[in-house]
Amino acid sequence: MPKFKLEYIWLDGYTPVPNLRGKTLVKSYDSFPKLEELSDWGFDGSSTQQAEGHSSDCVLKPVAIYPDATRLNGAIVMCEVMLPDGTPHPSNARATIPDEETTWFGLEQEYFLYENGAPLGFPKDGYPGPQGPYYCGVGYSNIGDVARQVVEEHLDICLDAGINHEGINFEVAKGQCEFQIFGKGSKKAADEIWVARYILERLCEGYGLDVQYHCKPIKGDWNGSGMHCNFSTEYMRETGGEAYFLALMDAFEKNCEEHIAAYGPDNHMRLTGLHETQSIDQFSWGIADRGASIRVPHSFKKNGWKGYLEDRRPNSQGDPYAICSRVLKTISEVPTP
């Protein structure tokens, strides 16, 4: 019976942004294990800001499993953190998302690759040439060699794991990259963003690189990093209508502060009204408007105000569980006929 290396990963209790943690459990199975065959596992919560030392036991509850092509008989096990009594830990934002299989999310994760404390490709002193040629760029001067190698290798590992990547590209600033993940179901895309982040950070260990998720790591006339959240419910896709859409936008505007609070730290540095953003203290929507809070695709209006919408305010460092949870909470406030 083969032994499998199960890398249990979870989110710690650090704020305002949790960190990924992981440890390996070796167990024997006849074949690649199914989720229902995995056992819960404990860890020391006092070392992750999730418990006090005098009562430190926390529980890892597997919620998804992915093959890990980088390890012989390897698997990555995404876990929720639970209390010993079986209830969700206070840090467990995943548990706040309702299980809704007809809800779809698409998340666009931007990030910078960093080397020796600076974005990859920046000169040792000063800055590279201004933004312009780097977005979806080609050529050594625009991309370099290591960056492309990293993003391509990351994509391959994720696809081998069954993660639903929908694309990758280099972004507006030098050293800035993006990948997109789509998931049917209220939790799937968020699960896979976290697993893809884990794979990326582990991959970059071998290149001597760090992944910088901060939404505005370079001050000045440089684009920040977002995690644009595309979302739809079955009602939005199948019924919709202008009246429902306008009521939905009213609800998003009413809950503007609550959304900003859930969309990642330091967003005031990114949401300035410049660099394809709306100001943090304003709410707007617009057809194909990348400077609006909510971008409405042309297809949405042409199709009778039906389809998906894009919330452009979430930032790259945000917790996708908290982001998806907040979006669904606001949608739930709008009655459907």
Does position 31 have pLDDT exceeding 90, yes or no? yes
**For position 150, what pLDDT does the model report?**
97
Mean pLDDT of 140-146: 90
Q: DSSP state, 89?
A: P
Q: How far is CA 300 from CA 33, 234, 295, in A?
A: 41, 14, 10
Does position 54 have pLDDT exceeding 90, yes or no? no
CATH superfamily for 3-95 is: Glutamine synthetase, N-terminal domain (3.10.20.70)
Task: Look up the pTM and report it.
Answer: 0.96
Domain coordinates in residue numbering, the chain:
3-95, 104-332
Backbone φ and ψ of 309, nearest 5°: -125, 160
Nearest to residue 176, comparing CAs of 230, 213, 201, 141? 213
Burial of residue 188 (number of CB atoms within 10 Å: 0-12, 13-18, 19+): buried
Does position 310 have pLDDT exceeding 80, yes or no? yes
89-110 pLDDT, tens per residue?
999 999 999 999 999 999 999 9
CA distance 269 to 85: 41
Q: How far is CA 316 from CA 151, 295, 307, in A?
A: 17, 17, 24
Q: DSSP state, 4?
A: E
CATH superfamily for 104-332 is: Glutamine synthetase/guanido kinase, catalytic domain (3.30.590.10)
